[in-house]
A and B are shown apart, each in its own frame.
Chain A
């Protein structure tokens, strides 16, 4: 049971003080194996706290990140899946399926994780999985209809079970979906 936390667009301290308390209660060290962060952590402290959650932390550079040394993209292999990581501000238009597909082909990954839209999305497009964990602190410059969210992926071989944690109001909602890589 390889647990991978996918989180991003936290924007601390610029747009929010901290992660929501309900999320902080869930995110305790010990259970999570890897963290894939889409970027825009924006501060060293958040980076350190994520590092404390799990030692295997992968961060890509977002447009507001203070640390210029994060890479633009990253490819990580977990289980039998190759997972690509990109912040998403490079993808124009933001969140567009076809553009994301181009990135996926370029990186040659089975799962593409991107962010920037601050809106959760997870879909399977042409046999590949695209995950957008949304924003963990839920600020959006586009719309008011945002909920803080993050994603937990349980990777077992070729299968991913995705748990989506969303904060609607003050209630934590957990949803689940799954994806299986089809061998071509």
Chain B
């Protein structure tokens, strides 16, 4: 609650003069969040208080409205059962009107009980009584519309606002301002004003609640059906929802429109709720209030008086911007996922509803930028959601200045590529070259972007309440936003380009390394794999199919630390065989390693790195016939178990055996499953030894159909089972969509009992079966498996 002085000042600034345009502009730029006189503002927007009249006229208007409500209340008594006269009020009396009233009251009460149950404010019986009276009176006054479910949701924020507005204590009425304020915000009249506001809103959107009884009738008669269809189609709400999808979406985002149309999704499926409730059920209450600021302030054009489907026009555009915000989620999804996302709109994908309003305004003014095409993949991996993380991420940031970021990100990466292709012909000491590549890539790509995004985030968070900005600042802010969007589009394009080139680099590397694989000593080979996997991860991050893990934004390059003992620990970690269903063929080259190396790894257990914890498990793994594909199922487990011992490492990143695995390694509760074709499989489980996960990641990455055609000494690998196309990070500055649900049956692997502690606490449910040492549940061995002694 802010001070009375502040209120008085604001009232004087924004309401006293008859030119109240600044108020409208504040509303449209979502700056009324902390505004203490929001209720008064809404009364002005909705014409309960004449926006062009001087303040003195308001007194008459508001007292007139309040007395009107008092009259209504007395004529439509709501609780007739309280009259004491038994002649009128005996239990067997069935006065038809009384019965109807009773019924109506019951229906309204049912809905009121379910209003915003999470908010304390709406649980008080006073508020519930007020809502009951208002809705009942409105229903009795408008018998043709009566009460329809959903009106309570429209009423709830209005009451909330007016209650926030009301003056807590008596004030000295020294001047006109004081007297107006005390009149407008008087606590006794919250109900009356709420009724007035509600009637004003319902006057505009009342027709949207009328569906007629057409949908209730079931008939076989074709003529009747045609009539029903015709009358249904003319219902204002249906017309409005069709307008959103058929006109607005088609013109502004044809790709999304085509997709929705091809799935056969009817617009009124989702738009009915959005429109009728004025989006009050799609977002949190405070966000809804911001949206309603804009909706009410924007108002209607003159023609809307006769056309109910044209009222609150900006609402159409806000719905459009909601659709386009989740376009990446929708375009890649099938019917079920689309419906799911539309019916329960992922409000988390919109970091601030301010952007929805701005987008809506830009659509109206035809200044919106065209959308990046999603279906034509820019990377060979054809990840469907690649643009969403980037676009949402970038949209939400404010820039320090556009030029800074552009310049920092244009630092060249690719001069190193010619060097790389030269290098690949020589097979001497590949690990060093690869490390060199990593370092350059990090410096030139990851770091500046990370810095830029973190800078933008910091800027965002420094922004305080906006309503105190005056008009010139708002204009500048708007302009900055537009500029920023342009820059972000450029950034996205650059990153995509870089990702493409990285991909080519990796491909050529793998191709070159392949023939000389057998000649490279084992330890180096593993390092190469690790490095390749790393590069692929970078590529995915750049292309956007992978989000940037939070630790990347911490400043120092995550690749900068490289324990000296990297090769031996890696090899020992790689000694773990695993015969997951989709990597069975791949286990073959390592199976020999496992049998021979298990003893070796056993001895190398006491590796100096922190994988000392992981390695013993790894070696015991090798002793069990079945071990697991740690990466993918461990990601599925999403286990929040603590990170593997980070003690030996002082860096903030979770402990890891080598420099490369560091970023891949357990960030607790990080689960990623990238779109099916992503080349970088989820490795971010903290439950599994980092090294093991890395190993599998390499393998699985090699298995991905999208990227390289790396040749193991084995037949061409079948692709891994498709992973769900959603990505989850927690916690992060970036926003992704719904969490990962991996169907358990994809991972019928087993885990050693001593490891079950690490992986057990999973939100995705039990994915592990007790260790089965007898029979392999995995598909029959390929010819190359004959060398592997562990499989049956």
Contacts and interface: CB of A to CB of B under 8 A. Distances in A.
B91 A1 contact: yes
A176 B86 CA distance: 6
Nearest to B92: A26
A32 B90 CA distance: 12
B94 interface: yes
B262 interface: no
B106 to A, nearest CB: 15
Contacts of A26: 92-94
Contact of B90 (A1, A27, A28, A152): A152
A152 B90 CA distance: 9
Interface residues of B, number: 7
B87 interface: yes
Given A163-B86, A175-B86, A176-B86, A152 B94 contact: no
Contacts of B94: 26, 28
Interface in A66-107: none
B87 A163 contact: no
Contacts of B93: 26
Contacts of B86: 163, 174-176
Interface string B89-106: 011111000000000000
B87 A31 contact: no
Interface string B75-117: 0000000000011001111100000000000000000000000
Among B87, B90, B92, B94, residue most surrounded by chain A Cβ atoms (within 10 Å): B92
A122 interface: no
Nearest to A27: B92
A155 to B, nearest CB: 12
Q: How large is the interface on A (under 10, 10 to 19, 20 to 34, 35 or more residues)?
A: 10 to 19
A154 B86 CA distance: 13
Nearest to B93: A26
A3 interface: yes
A173 interface: yes
A32 B91 CA distance: 9
A3 B90 CA distance: 11
B91 A173 contact: no
B91 A154 contact: yes
A28 B93 CA distance: 10
A152 B87 contact: no
Contacts of B90: 152, 163, 165, 174, 176
A125 B453 CA distance: 89
A10 to B, nearest CB: 17
Contacts of A3: 91-92
Contacts of B91: 1, 3, 31, 152, 154, 163
A165 B87 CA distance: 9
Contacts of A154: 91
A179 B90 CA distance: 17
Nearest to A171: B87
Contacts of A27: 92
A88 to B, nearest CB: 24
Nearest to B94: A28
Nearest to B91: A3
Contacts of A163: 86, 90-92
Contacts of B87: 173-174
Contacts of A28: 92, 94
Nearest to B87: A174
A32 B509 CA distance: 88
Among A154, A165, A173, A174, residue most surrounded by chain B Cβ atoms (within 10 Å): A174
A129 to B, nearest CB: 18
A175 B88 CA distance: 10
A175 B94 CA distance: 17
Nearest to A23: B92
A154 B90 CA distance: 10
Interface in A17-39: 26-28, 31-32
A152 to B, nearest CB: 6
A154 B94 CA distance: 16
A4 to B, nearest CB: 10
Contacts of B92: 3, 26-28, 31-32, 152, 163, 165
A27 B86 CA distance: 16
B351 to A, nearest CB: 53
A173 B87 CA distance: 7
Nearest to B84: A176
Interface in B240-261: none
A32 B250 CA distance: 60
Contacts of A165: 90, 92
Interface string A147-184: 00000101000000001010000000111100000000
B105 to A, nearest CB: 16
A154 B92 CA distance: 11
Interface string A6-24: 0000000000000000000
A152 B93 CA distance: 12
B96 to A, nearest CB: 12
Contacts of A1: 91
A87 to B, nearest CB: 24
A176 B83 CA distance: 13
Nearest to A173: B87
Interface in B366-423: none
A1 B90 CA distance: 12
A163 B88 CA distance: 12
A26 B90 CA distance: 10
Nearest to A3: B91
Nearest to A1: B91
Contacts of A32: 92
A74 B93 CA distance: 29
Nearest to A164: B86
B99 to A, nearest CB: 11
A-B interface, 7 closest residue pairs, ranked by CB to CB distance from nearest: A176-B86, A26-B92, A174-B86, A174-B90, A163-B90, A174-B87, A3-B91
9 contacts: A26-B93, A31-B91, A31-B92, A163-B90, A165-B90, A174-B86, A174-B87, A174-B90, A176-B86
Given A31-B91, A174-B87, 14 more contacts: A3-B91, A26-B93, A27-B92, A28-B92, A28-B94, A152-B91, A163-B86, A163-B90, A163-B91, A163-B92, A173-B87, A174-B86, A174-B90, A175-B86
Interface of B: 86-87, 90-94
